Amino acid sequence: MRKLLVKGGRLIGPGQGQDEIRDLWIVGSKISSARFPEAEADETIDATGMLIMPGFVDPHVHLREPGNEEAETIATGCAAALAGGYTAVGTMPNTTPCTDAPETVERVFRAVSACTAPMLRVVAALTAGRSGRELANLEAFANDLHTRVTGFTDDGSGVQDESLARRAMEFCARHDVPYIEHCEVADLSAGGVVHPCAEADRRGLKGYPAEAEWRMIERDLRLAEETGAHVHFQHLSSARSVELIAEAKARGRAAVTAEVTPHHLTLTVEDALAGGTNFKMNPPLRAKEDRQALLAGLKDGVIDMIATDHAPHTAESKALPFAEAPNGVIGLETAAAVAWTNFVEPGILTRNEMARRMSIAPARFLRVPATETFEDGDAANLVVFDPNARWTVDAAAFKSKSRNCPFDGWAVRGRVTATVVEGEVRYRADIH
């Protein structure tokens, strides 16, 4: 079997709190406790001075294909994921056609097989055509559940009909898959494009209040407790949302998980108003107090994981006026550096906490193997990360096809130098 030597790095293993410098041997797709002569390595990665961490896992990405290949393709999105240190991603159903039938899942996996890619899981549509009017034929996915299809969502729009949401949760509970919610009460957001504030009012930009998010969380927590479903809340943005989820976890009557994005953790409505459409997303960037509550929730585990909500758009569409431009920003190639620079270096998160939030928790959620302990037989899905690398984000140099990055031009520390998926080096940075 093929042997890979990752030499001289510091292992960060959250499964057992590991933080130690040692060589790591990988035989086939597994970590090996055996020690071989260095000459026997088929490939060597010199990780001296670097961290060897569990590969990052993103439960929330948009690869756009099929139907929106002008913004991203499966090949370019997968290349971006690998460059960002991601060994697995969960793709959203916002495609054309949307992923509401097994035929579209098959189409996605054919495209994945034709490129160098991380492990991939599909999150399929809850309702037919993501219309919110009737459930998709969820039973049709039965053979793919827990393997290729890992849950259901209408991401981009919340399920407004409570009876429909209840029936969807009942299905998810029976099949032990998560009901994944884009938390937005449409009557409350009502065409809003930015967090309400005086400057938005002055510019004539309609407000999108935090209540539109937390009211749906309130409803779904009640439904989850009544149906026994695992409910997962996407891209949290508000302090009240964190409070509601903390209360639900304390009650312990339902399985509840939640994610937050790097942009909601680091930016506010002031950045959106100053920065333009590359800072426009749904839900919108909110007040400083919301950002602080999100960071506290991530630190204490109320929020389980970091997700990028990587949402590519063409430069032409993002050049439209703020109210007309599409929502969404890209983040696969910046998430690790933004997290390291803003959370780990200031001491908000430890290295192991970063690994738990970006690797272990989302891997368990997507049901993909993660390198939790670096012990014999553990899955060899890992990232080599240089914590001392200083660089300036340059969206024009990304592997992604799109450039709508709110961190463009930021000076950051920490860079992915190699990504290993199932024992195979699928990305190595061309830097020295």
Mean pLDDT, residues 279-290: 98
Both tokens of 405, joined, read 């990055």
Sequence-distant (6+) residues with CB within 8 A of 301 are none
User: Interhelix angle for 74-83 vs 102-113, to 10°?
Assistant: 60
pLDDT one-digit tens code per residue, 85-135: 999 999 999 999 999 999 999 999 999 999 999 999 999 999 999 999 999
pLDDT value, residue 391: 98
Q: How far apart are CA 265 and CA 318, in angstroms?
A: 22
Residue found by looking up tokens 């960002």 in the block: 84
Residue 17 — pLDDT band, cuts 50, 70, 90?
confident
Q: Environment class of residue 161 by beta-carbon count within 10 Å: exposed (0-12), middle (13-18) or buried (19+)?
A: middle
Mean pLDDT of 316-333: 98
* Helical H segments across 147-238, by residue range: 162-175, 186-189, 198-203, 211-227
Instruction: Please state, as a whole number, how many other Cβ atoms lie within 10 Å of the Cβ of residue 160.
Output: 16
Q: What is the mean pLDDT of residues 220-225?
A: 98
DSSP-derived secondary structure for 396-414: GG-SSS----TTTT-EEEE
- Partners of 110 in the β-ladder: none
Cβ proximity of 140 and 171 under 8 Å: no
Residue 431, pLDDT score? 52
Domain ranges of the chain: 3-51+375-428, 55-366
Residue 417 burial by CB count (10 A; 0-12/13-18/19+): exposed, middle or buried? buried
Please report, for residues 233, 296, 299, 355, the alpha-carbon distance to residue 348 in angstroms, rounded to integers and kept in the order given.
23, 9, 7, 13
CATH number of 3-51+375-428: 2.30.40.10
Mean pLDDT of 226-244: 98
Q: Which of 220, 304, 309, 378 is catalytic?
A: 309
Mean pLDDT of the chain: 97
Residue 52: which pLDDT band, with cuts at 50, 70 and 90?
very high
pLDDT, average across residues 30-36: 95
Give the CATH number of domain 55-366; options: 3.10.129.10, 3.20.20.140, 3.40.50.920, 3.40.50.300.
Answer: 3.20.20.140
Side-chain half-sphere CA neighbours of 160 within 13 A: 13
Range 3-14 average pLDDT = 96
Q: How confident is the model at residue 432, as a pLDDT?
A: 41
The answer, yes or no, to whether residue 430 has pLDDT greater than 90, is: no
Residue 309 to residues 143, 331, 355, Cα–Cα distance (Å): 27, 7, 18
Does the reported pTM lie above 0.75? yes
- Give residue 57's pLDDT: 98
Give me 222's structure tokens: 């009640």
Share of the chain above pLDDT 90, in %: 97
- Report how far residue 105's alpha carbon sits from residue 101's, in angstroms, rounded to the nearest whole number: 7
Segment 296-307 mean pLDDT = 98
- pLDDT tens digits along 360-403: 999 999 999 999 889 999 999 999 999 999 999 999 999 999 99
Q: Is 309 a catalytic residue?
A: yes
Average pLDDT, integer, range 274-291: 98
What share of the chain has pLDDT > 70, as a percent?
A: 100
Handedness of CA 395, 11, 363, 147 (dihedral sign): positive
Residue-level pLDDT at 18: 86
